[in-house]
Amino acid sequence: MTAPLYAVLYQSRATRGLDASTLRAILEAAVVRNAALGVTGLLVYGEMARLPGVPGLFLQWLEGPEPAVRGLYDRIAADPRHADVETIAEGPVETFTGSDSRLFPTWSMAVKRLPDVPATLHGFLEYARQTGSNVASPSA
């Protein structure tokens, strides 16, 4: 029997504004690393469009084997490209979704840019159900 899937949802504040090429570089590195770890997920970057020049917000869902997700989250939390890292939810995927299935089974990682970040567990899960699983491929 395999261990249940584990997930972390966190939000943080970018330490500087990020352009499309920087987000693409983050995505490319994450795809390789996460595939090796068996981790999938989604990174949302809120651009703070109403406040030009203000660094945006990150919201990220990581899912996979618990040791891999926890280790990756610890590494991400120490990344200097963001600050004020706040865990919104952490635990078995089934606790949050009612199923032990991945929300993003085919994405080692995807990046989405939004004007507003759904920074609650309920808001994120609703976003994932409405759009995340219907998007064909990752983008930056």
Query: Domain spans of the chain?
Result: 6-134
Pick the CATH number of 6-134 from 3.30.10.20, 1.20.1730.10, 3.90.199.10, 3.30.70.100: 3.30.70.100
pLDDT digits (tens, 9 = 90+) for 10-48: 999 888 877 778 888 888 988 999 999 999 998 888 865
Q: Name the DSSP class of 134.
A: G
The pLDDT mean for the chain works out to 83
Residue 105 CA to residue 133 CA, distance in Å, equals 9
Widest Cα–Cα separation across the chain: 50
Give which of 106, 104, 105, 124 is closest to 114, Cα–Cα: 124
Residue 101 CA to residue 105 CA, distance in Å, equals 8
Characterize the bridge pairing of strands 6-14 and 40-46. Answer: unpaired
Q: Name the DSSP class of 2.
A: P
Any bridge partners for residue 8, and if so which?
A: 62, 90
pTM here is 0.82
Any bridge partners for residue 113, and if so which?
A: 45
pLDDT (tens place) for every residue of the chain, 140 residues total: 678 899 999 999 888 877 778 888 888 988 999 999 999 998 888 865 555 566 788 889 999 999 999 999 999 999 998 999 999 999 999 999 899 899 988 888 777 777 666 767 888 888 787 765 444 334 44
Residue 79 CA to residue 84 CA, distance in Å, equals 11
